[in-house]
């Protein structure tokens, strides 16, 4: 049985995520996890909340709560929303877990033993008004590379350039807005990534078939300018993983914590340890190549802003440790989803957020649109007009209408069971041939994680059934040849089950409704189309499902467009 490890970039704890965050990592990862399970893979799908660093402290302060309490509450909020969108994590963990504390401190120790940790004095921004050093994301200013006025102290969200806070033009404190800033000396630990440059370069070159987006960003960081730079891995913060050496504070680093971008990716491993602790499972067979992980295919999903840390910094941690850790085999990087002429932004409250989306429509409506418009090769824009058109045409007209017409017609003419009369002829043979060809194409696209093309191929499979139904016209055939109409409807009822199994990775609730309507839990992947279209045998009973997808009216679209316009700047 193939084994597939899947990790989704872990979302910050600070607030509810928007649809751009969802389609940038978690939702495509869930699609692939569901598909792999359906194909018989053993899957470990891990995600978590990223709970350390500036965003957590600032959000907790704004909420007037202790940061630990705030993080615990928001983990539950994010977990509930993930469940609402039917994200099928095997474990949804927390980067503040004791497992992650232990592992992060372990990696730092191993990197130090390997000569890859250096203590350096650095000049860091100090806010006189706030009376404290300001870590990277406590500072905003103008990007020296592209001129974006709201660049963060660690990275510009506009051009993705890695920054140091002292690089910013006209910097200001995120805490108070004060520009009364000074540069003072402080000590921190640095990961000497520069010593691993050639090894990382060779490692990236050895990867097969990665998206150009992923490799181009990694290569840019490796070779542009002065090349890969050493990176600070500690910060002057109260909330985080204490900098320890063994079971004692790291000399000279008392009161400091590890940088969130050092400990956050380690949570992928720690989350699997959390899963093992809860279930009695074996986490090492997923992560240690000396314990069986050599046979695992590891796939990561993330937005393009996370690519540098997952192609360079996290691999530097794993490779530099000198231990046999599993590294990623395929990295699926995605571009940005924009919102109706602007950008989604958690910090600025712009766009449709996950809780708002579920308050107006079920998850499958959003899953289908987001995945069928996944920003794979370029940024994609969400508009209400496009959303309405896609839902109405693809889900309501093509899939939902097929299920409704077939089941209602059968009930009216043959009762609520699969009719037994008649034999299949040339039309049915031609459909089976068409579906066999399209199924192979669909599988190849899903195997290659070409999300939009896979969605288009799935829709084409739905359309093929509709075209067959239109040409067969059993409602007309029934008048002259009831047995032939019965055979046509038998084919169509089996198509519903066939559609349910193939569609489940995209629209799991609708798939379950179709299977429930067909009164079957038989959801084996239909590798043999002819056999798959004979699973529901004559006499098998069914029920007419409720409407799978209601059309979005113009009034609803206009109301939602107006309602959510206020969240934009």
Point out the annotated binding site for Zn(2+).
Answer: 143, 146, 156, 159
Q: What is the DSSP string of 1-29?
A: --EEEEEEPPPBSSS--BHHHIIIIIHHH
Q: Which DSSP string corresponds to 295-306? A: GEEEEEEEEGGG
Residues 6+ apart with CB under 8 A from 215: 204, 207, 311
What are the Cα distances from residue 201, in Å, to 138, 220, 326? 32, 11, 17
A 10 A CB-CB count for 84 gives 16
Task: Estimate the crossing angle of helix 363-372 against helix 508-517, to 10 degrees.
Answer: 120
Annotated binding site for ATP: 346
Annotated binding site: 143, 146, 156, 159, 346
Query: What burial letters (b/e) apply to 333-368, b meaning 16+ CB within 10 Å?
Result: bbbbbbbbeebbbbbeebbbbbebbbeebbbbbbbb
Helix/strand/coil for 164: coil
Report whether 80 contacts 73 (CB < 8 A): no
CB atoms within 10 A of CB 318: 20
Inter-residue contact 218 to 204 (CB < 8 Å) = yes
- What DSSP line would sit under 65-127, residue for residue? S-HHHHHHHHHHHHHHHHHHTT---SEEEETTSHHHHHHHHHHHHHHHHTT-EEEEEEEEEEE
C-alpha to C-alpha distance for 328 and 234, rounded to whole angstroms: 25
The tokens of 511 are what? 């798939």
Cβ-proximal residues to 185 (8 Å cutoff; 6+ apart), any chain: 121, 122, 123, 124
Q: How far apart, in whole angstroms, are the C-alpha atoms of residue 327 and residue 322?
A: 13
Strands ordered across the beta sheet of 42-49? 91-94, 42-49, 3-8, 296-303, 330-334
């Amino acid at each position: 049985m193939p084994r597939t490890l899947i990790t989704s970039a872990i979302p910050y704890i600070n607030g509810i995520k928007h649809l751009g965050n969802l389609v940038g990592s978690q939702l495509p990862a869930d699609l692939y996890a569901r598909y792999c399970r359906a194909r018989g893979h053993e899957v470990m799908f891990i995600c978590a909340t990223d709970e350390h660093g500036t965003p957590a402290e600032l959000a907790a302060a704004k909420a007037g709560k202790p940061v630990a309490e705030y993080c615990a509450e928001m983990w539950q909020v994010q977990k509930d929303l993930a469940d609402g969108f039917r994200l099928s994590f095997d474990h949804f963990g927390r980067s503040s877990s004791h497992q992650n504390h232990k592992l992060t401190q372990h990696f730092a120790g191993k990197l130090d033993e390997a000569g890859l940790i250096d203590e350096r004095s650095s000049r860091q921004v100090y806010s006189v008004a706030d009376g404290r050093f300001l870590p990277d994301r406590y500072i905003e200013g103008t990007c020296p590379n592209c001129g974006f006025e709201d660049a963060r102290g660690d990275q510009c969200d506009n051009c993705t350039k890695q920054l140091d806070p002292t690089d910013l033009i006209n910097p200001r404190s995120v805490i108070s807005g004060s520009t009364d800033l000074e540069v003072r000396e402080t000590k921190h630990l640095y990961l000497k990534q520069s010593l691993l440059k050639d090894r990382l370069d060779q490692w990236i070159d050895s990867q097969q078939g990665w998206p150009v987006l992923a490799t181009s960003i990694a290569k840019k960081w490796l070779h542009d300018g002065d090349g890969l730079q050493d990176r600070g891995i500690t910060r002057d913060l109260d909330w985080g993983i204490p900098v320890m050496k063994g079971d004692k504070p790291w000399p000279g680093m008392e009161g400091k914590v590890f940088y969130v971008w050092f400990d956050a990716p380690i949570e992928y491993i720690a989350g699997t340890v959390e899963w093992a602790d809860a279930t009695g499972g074996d986490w090492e067979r997923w992560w240690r190549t000396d314990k069986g992980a050599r046979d695992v295919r590891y796939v990561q999903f993330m937005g393009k802003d996370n690519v540098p840390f997952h192609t360079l910094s996290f691999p530097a941690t794993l490779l530099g440790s000198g231990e046999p850790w599993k590294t990623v085999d395929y990295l699926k990087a995605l571009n940005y989803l924009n919102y109706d002429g602007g950008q989604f932004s958690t910090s600025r409250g712009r766009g449709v957020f996950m809780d708002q989306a579920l308050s107006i429509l079920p998850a499958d409506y959003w899953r289908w649109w987001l995945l069928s418009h996944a920003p794979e090769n370029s940024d994609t824009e969400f508009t209400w007009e496009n959303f309405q058109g896609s839902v109405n045409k693809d889900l309501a007209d093509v899939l939902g209408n097929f299920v409704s017409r077939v089941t209602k017609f059968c009930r009216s003419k043959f009762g609520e069971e699969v009719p037994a009369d008649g034999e299949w002829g040339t039309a049915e043979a031609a459909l089976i041939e068409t579906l066999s060809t399209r199924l192979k194409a669909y599988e190849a696209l899903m195997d290659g994680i070409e999300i939009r093309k896979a969605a288009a191929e799935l829709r084409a499979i739905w359309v093929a059934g509709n075209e067959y139904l239109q040409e067969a016209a059993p409602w007309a055939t029934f008048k002259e040849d009831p047995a032939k109409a019965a055979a046509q409807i038998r084919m169509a009822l089996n198509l519903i089950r066939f559609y349910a199994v193939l569609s489940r990775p995209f629209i799991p609730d609708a798939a379950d409704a179709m299977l429930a309507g067909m009164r079957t839990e038989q959801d084996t992947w239909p590798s043999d189309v002819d056999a798959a279209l004979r699973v529901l045998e004559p006499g098998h009973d069914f029920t007419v499902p409720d409407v799978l997808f209601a059309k979005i009216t113009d009034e609803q679209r206009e109301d939602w467009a107006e309602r959510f316009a206020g969240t934009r700047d």
